[in-house]
Structure 1
Amino acid sequence: MSDEISQGFDTLQVHAGAQPDPATGARQTPIYQTTAYVFRDADHAAALFNLQEVGYIYSRLTNPTVSALAERICALEGGAGAVCCSSGHAAQIMALFPLMGPGCNIVVSTRLYGGTVTQFSQTIKRFGWSATFVDFDDLDAVRAAVDDDTRAIFCESIANPGGYITDLDAIGSLSAELGLPLIVDNTSATPYLCNPIKHGATLVVHSTTKYLTGNGTVTGGCIVDSGKFDWSASGKFPSLSEPEPAYHGLTFHEALGPMAYTFHSIAVGLRDLGMTMNPQAAHYTLMGIETLSLRMEKHVANAVKIANWLEGDSRIERVTYAGLSSSPYHDRVERICPRGAGALFTIAVKGGYEACVKLVDSLKLFSHVANLGDARSLIIHSASTTHRQLSPEQQKAAGADPDVVRLSIGIEDPEDLMRDLDQALDAATA
């Protein structure tokens, strides 16, 4: 890892985590399509199961293709360790799993993807966990929401759907003051645009399904640990700071230091939750990441051009892109996302809900899908799809009002995209 730290992003996105295959010399990381691995002998097997030696046991836990992907994302984020899993939603549960227990809560931003709002407001209750939703622009409200049972603070770097940029410096400082880990979903920004760990994040989660893969082929998730949080300081994280019965009393933080969280997530989280990434998905994502910086530069350039054009269009009520000089969050771009404000934003269409539906149905180049971050441009009416399960108040807080559509700007020719939007807006507002 020491050599990788000194390398540039473009080098790491191609080389990190990958070596020529020792058996064949294959330069691209092979798809290790296997469930299990032969032990050298009985002592070797025992050492692996006791966490005394690092290696491969069973592909629910670790797999060479998946491990290569975890190492690459970890290097790009500047973390100590990483674990890949089956989806972005799985990554969020996996991220919380070592931290939480019945009766514990998390404090989360109101500006989150609709599926995350549902997961945190409804689903985690089944584990005895709860979430308090707060406007993260109000630091006093965030502080007031924290109590003795709070175990983490959660936000998105660039929020889906509205492209809102969280002030990670302020939230990171507050989390450190409160002695709580900050978990940042960096899916919309990617490590090319934002490095949450530099701003105080303890854990970074990704839906690798999106920009990291970049081609809409496979689902996946990843959790990156900064390795900087003291899990033993407060007594609030016994899974990491106290003896683990399933490992003969091993205390993960005491024994493994900065890698405690990562090893726990593999040895306990993947072992018992089974949210495993398959090796073919890891392979697709490894190939996608090789061009991440090139794609993100084009995504951002296209988004800036199209957002500026839409802002001046009489058929549009408003555009919520932080890359616009008119955005109230424009001053955060240089500090938090110095390479650009991403390629995700919303537009409010004059004519309301019905006009949004007509717009979506009239587009030819934009694909109407429940995804973002593809090389191709995508659109969705969040209020009737991804955020449909939320209350009107929750939709408004998340930036998914009924008169709003979300655009994920791809890497096509921007003139073609604007022509497509132009004809669809004519049809929608006629």
Structure 2
Amino acid sequence: IEVTFVDNPDDPESWKKAIRPNTKAFFGETIANPKNDLLDIEAVAKVAHDYGVPLIVDNTVATPYLIRPIEFGADVVIHSATKFLSGHGNAVVGAIVDSGKFDYAKYPDRFKNFNTADPSYHGLVYAQALGVGSPFGANLAYIFKIRLTLLRDIGAAVAPFNAWLLAQGLETLSLRIERHVENALAVATWLEKHPQVEKVNYASLASSPWNGLAKKYAPQGSGSVLSFEIKGGIEAGKKFIEALDIFSHVANIGDVRSLAIHPASTTHSQLTPAEQLTAGVTPGLIRLSLGLENINDIKADIERGFAAAK
């Protein structure tokens, strides 16, 4: 698999410039981590479809409760269901949702694996037998190929107990996300006014460059994963994290418990300073995944971190 990175994901023209002769799909995050920037789904989907490739989006941070990407033109939606969908950090699960809207039969040279016989499955031609106009009344070419070949060959099947945990989590998804977002917005608004904070990255704030997209795609809130830059750089960031009590210091997101991490000294520590900046990681960046605790307890714990970082 070859990957071409888009220089400016906010600019549809930048997506056009990244297209290569062998481009097979566009991929992006509806809400990106850790800067909470939003993808202009409709604009990027148009560029993808004009060229003749599907748009695949990762909707992990938003969940379907906040953003429904297929309604804005995305063709395939994926989730790390380990995060908000299951919600409790206790199951390793992934999900693929196919809209059935992309017609692979229209581009036989580009998608040969959909338009030629599969000898491992009785000569089935997915785009013909299962695609647009198939006897099933739906375009199942993509999702059936995933199930009939990749699932079979790679074995990416969810464990039964993990499936049960996911099913349990989904029953409270709406309630949890409402509380997640409520806490996140309260913390983001509070952090903007804090004297030890240089910048807050949260799209639902009016100060965010992605606030317009947040109002369009995620009017109920831009999730509960946000980041901020603490004054004092990398050392202040380390001290802040070490002083937290309620927040768990882990690399995960999307838990009922509040989670925090200092990327420059952990997840991105093997990158050079220049590479960290390219990834959106500044020396003092702190990422928070706000949980369901009482907002006063959350703020008190963050204040504890600030006191240690002075």
TM-score (normalizing by structure 2): 0.94
Q: Contact 1:344 / 1:406 at 8 angstroms: preserved in 2?
A: yes
Superimposed CA distance per residue, residues 240-271 of structure 1 (whole angstroms, 9 cap, x where no aligned partner) = 12211112211012111211111111110011
SS at match of 2:77: strand
Structure 1 equivalent of residue 136 of structure 2 = none
Structure 1 equivalent of residue 203 of structure 2 = 322
Question: Is 1:268 aligned to 2:149, yes or no?
Answer: yes
User: Which one of the candidate residues 154, 168, 177 is aligned to 2:41?
Assistant: 168
Query: Offset of 1:374 from its aligned partner?
Result: 0.3
Question: Is 1:244 aligned to 2:115, yes or no?
Answer: no
Q: Distance in 1 between matches of 2:274 and 2:70?
A: 31
Root-mean-square deviation (CA, aligned residues, Å) is 1.2
Q: Distance in 2 between matches of 1:166 and 1:149?
A: 23
Opposite residue 157 of structure 2, the aligned amino acid is T
Q: Distance in 2 between matches of 1:390 and 1:219?
A: 27
Judging changes above 3 Å, is the alpha-carbon distance between structure 1 residues 155 and 389 closer, same or farther for their aligned structure 2 residues? farther
Q: Which runs of 4+ in 1 moved over 6 A?
A: none
User: Which one of the candidate residues 381, 387, 391 is aligned to 2:262?
Assistant: 381
Judging changes above 3 Å, is the alpha-carbon distance between structure 1 residues 197 and 390 closer, same or farther for their aligned structure 2 residues? farther
Opposite residue 375 of structure 1, the aligned amino acid is V
Q: Contact 1:299 / 1:343 at 8 angstroms: preserved in 2?
A: yes
Structure 1 equivalent of residue 17 of structure 2 = 144
Superimposed CA distance per residue, residues 27-47 of structure 1 (whole angstroms, 9 cap, x where no aligned partner) = xxxxxxxxxxxxxxxxxxxxx
Structure 1 equivalent of residue 57 of structure 2 = 184
Equivalences for residues 28-427 of structure 1 within 5 A? 124=1, 129-235=2-108, 236-257=110-131, 258-427=139-308
Q: Distance in 1 between matches of 2:264 and 2:22?
A: 33
Q: Which residues of structure 1 form unaligned runs of 5+?
A: 1-123
Opposite residue 81 of structure 2, the aligned amino acid is T
Residues matched between the structures, number: 302
Judging changes above 3 Å, is the alpha-carbon distance between structure 1 residues 384 and 289 closer, same or farther for their aligned structure 2 residues? same
Q: Distance in 1 between matches of 2:40 and 2:88?
A: 29
Opposite residue 265 of structure 2, the aligned amino acid is S
Q: Contact 2:4 / 2:18 at 8 angstroms: preserved in 1?
A: no
TM-score (normalizing by structure 1): 0.68
Q: Distance in 1 between matches of 2:116 and 2:270?
A: 39
Q: Distance in 2 between matches of 1:264 and 1:230?
A: 14
Opposite residue 70 of structure 2, the aligned amino acid is I
Q: Which residues of structure 2 form unaligned runs of 5+?
A: 132-138
Query: Offset of 1:391 from its aligned partner?
Result: 4.2
Identity of aligned residues (%): 44
Which deviates more, 332-341 or 302-311? 332-341
Superimposed CA distance per residue, residues 66-108 of structure 1 (whole angstroms, 9 cap, x where no aligned partner) = xxxxxxxxxxxxxxxxxxxxxxxxxxxxxxxxxxxxxxxxxxx
SS at match of 2:78: strand
Opposite residue 117 of structure 2, the aligned amino acid is P
Q: Contact 1:162 / 1:398 at 8 angstroms: preserved in 2?
A: no
Superimposed CA distance per residue, residues 329-354 of structure 1 (whole angstroms, 9 cap, x where no aligned partner) = 11111211122111111110000000
Query: Offset of 1:153 from its aligned partner?
Result: 0.6
